[in-house]
Structure 1
Amino acid sequence: MKREKTDVQIIPYEDSHRNAFRDINYQWLTQYFEITAYDKPFFENPRKEILDKSGYIFLASLKNEIVGSFALEKVTDKEYTLAKMGVKPGFQRLRIGQLLMEKALKKAEELNLDSLVLYTNHQLVQALNLYCKYGFRFERLENPLVERATIKMEKKFG
């Protein structure tokens, strides 16, 4: 298992990855919640909804298979939201989530952000543990965009 970790590459999104990006996220969303009208545009047209709005999407690739994802969605020039983070079933526990998180934080620093925020749910214990490990702190949640968001977290830089 140690060897496999080194085989994971974090790569920028390309339009040919759209189905893999959608499938990874739909899998965890349907496992715990449901796909909402708010969610669908992000996965049907990630270029328009994320990339063309100064956002970023990165994917974890293992032996040419896309096994994980995250997006950084622009809020302001100094704040982005970490979103659409997931790892395919069967590939969890290979530290892929940690590799994705490390790339997200590196990109946030490159963008010279003041903060990275995320919205999550108390049911997602593994995700919460990961966020805490990387320095995200709980914030007051007001007016979430989706009902499933029960927690807001933020990591400040600098």
Structure 2
Amino acid sequence: MPATTSQFKIPYPTGGDPVRDAPQTLQNAMQIIDDYLHEPFVLIDGAKYPINGAAIPPENWQFAGQKPWFYAAFDIPAPYIPPAGYTFETFVLESSSTTFVCTSELKRDQKMITCRFIQTWSNDPKALKLIGWRLVPTSTDPNRLN
């Protein structure tokens, strides 16, 4: 039995002895996990994209409907242009009314997301305070990860 494990040809980040370097290797791995948990991301074709976030509703938009359902459509800035095969889902993060928001269209050329909006029994456009977004794949292939 060798006195050292340096004969193992396993590449480790510190490049030395895998047994003696285990604390540093573990610390490096934990830093990667901490970075991911702090700001979740996905790697697509080698590029790093955040997977979720928030947006403030636009100013001075108008309702198109009347009581009891108030509805509208408006654009919010896309946080970035997602890669092909991905789009953004939008939803309500904060509202003082019963409010629903969903994505209608991603306008890639304008870097805008068109949102559809429905709110019940309140005609206050300021009730919607915060819109959430998340990156989602548009593939309909359930086996795309196999």
Structure with the largest fraction of helix: 1
After TM superposition, the score normalised by the length of structure 1 is 0.23
Structure with the largest fraction of strand: 2
After TM superposition, the score normalised by the length of structure 2 is 0.24
Larger RCO, structures 1/2 (Cα 8 Å, 6+ apart)? 2
